[in-house]
């Protein structure tokens, strides 16, 4: 691998980290990616083709096949420029390898955190832990609030890093193109659910989750 390709691969990893929910880590990754583009006089055309063959379609982690997990998995994948779907009861994800890695790490951490908050809330409000409706509603509300916060933070960051926006959009379009050419995904109508009080409590609890969580290894892995 030549030195120029090493720099291109480094930029690809930095772009993935620029979607981190850790605002400091994301901003630093975006800044370094922009610096490398300028320092080595690299164009979008040089960066994007190197990632076409990097798109992967893999099985996701195990899940309990609940509605809230399905919603959260799909919404979170989009925040990391990936596309999620289910096949034969399995969670699947498509995206650039570096994006998929970051997404799956955050999925495991956030899902676990939301579930813990749900049972803590049930205990505090004298709701039986076996009340699946309450727990699932809480988790969905919490998940949707987390996604809302992530979207807002992402929009703010991208307004400050306009130089990278075209590159990010191009990477997203390649994933969508890959899905169209290799998968037969059909859109489904959103299911209507009647939420109980658990949803509202979960939505409020979503503000308590510290989104400054650093991706494992984070910037330290990118030399």
CB 101 within 8 A of CB 16: yes
139: three-class secondary structure by DSSP: helix
Starting at the edge strand found earlier in the chain, the sheet holding 55-59 runs 55-59, 90-96, 83-87
Q: pLDDT value at position 221? A: 47
pLDDT, one tens digit for every residue, the chain (223 residues): 567 778 878 887 777 777 766 666 777 777 787 788 778 887 666 666 555 567 999 999 999 999 999 999 999 999 988 999 998 899 999 998 888 988 999 999 999 999 999 999 999 999 999 999 999 999 999 999 999 999 988 787 777 665 667 777 777 888 998 999 898 876 554 566 777 899 999 999 999 998 866 554 554 444 4
Question: CA dist 189 to 6, 23, 186, 192, Å?
Answer: 44, 33, 10, 9
Run of H or E including 90 = strand 90-96
- Based on its alpha-carbon atoms, the radius of gyration of the chain, rounded to whole angstroms, reads 19
Structure tokens of 6?
Answer: 């090493």
DSSP 206: G
Whole-number pLDDT of residue 59? 93
Question: Position of tokens 């306009």?
Answer: 162
The torsion defined by the Cα of 53, 26, 204 and 132, in degrees rounded to 10, comes to 30
CA nearest to 36, candidates 12, 63, 69, 60: 12
Q: Which two tokens stand for residue 19?
A: 């979607």
Domain-wise residue ranges, the chain: 3-221
Alpha-carbon torsion 88, 93, 97, 98, what sign? negative
Tell me how far CA of residue 105 lies from CA of 15, 60, 89, 148, in angstroms.
16, 11, 21, 19
| Model pLDDT, residue 52 | 58
Global confidence as pTM = 0.79
């Amino acid at each position: 691998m030549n030195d120029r390709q090493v720099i291109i691969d480094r930029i690809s990893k930095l772009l993935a980290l620029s979607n981190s929910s850790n605002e400091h880590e994301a901003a630093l990754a975006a800044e370094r990616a922009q610096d490398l583009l300028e320092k080595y006089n690299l164009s979008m055309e040089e960066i994007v083709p190197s990632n076409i063959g990097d798109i992967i379609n893999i099985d996701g982690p195990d899940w309990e096949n609940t509605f809230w997990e399905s919603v959260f998995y799909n919404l979170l994948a989009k925040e990391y420029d990936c596309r999620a779907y289910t096949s034969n009861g399995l969670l699947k994800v498509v995206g650039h390898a570096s994006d998929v890695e970051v997404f799956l790490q955050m999925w495991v951490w956030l899902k676990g955190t939301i579930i813990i908050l749900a049972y803590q809330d049930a205990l505090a409000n004298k709701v039986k832990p076996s009340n699946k409706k309450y727990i699932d509603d809480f988790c969905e509300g919490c998940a949707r609030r987390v996604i809302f916060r992530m979207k807002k933070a992402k929009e703010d960051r991208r307004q400050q890093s306009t130089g990278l926006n075209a590159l990010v959009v191009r990477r997203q379009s390649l994933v969508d193109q890959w899905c169209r050419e290799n998968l037969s995904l059909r859109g489904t109508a959103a299911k209507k659910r009647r939420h109980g009080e658990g949803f509202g409590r979960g939505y409020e609890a979503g503000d308590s989750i510290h989104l400054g969580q650093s991706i494992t290894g984070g910037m330290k892995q990118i030399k």
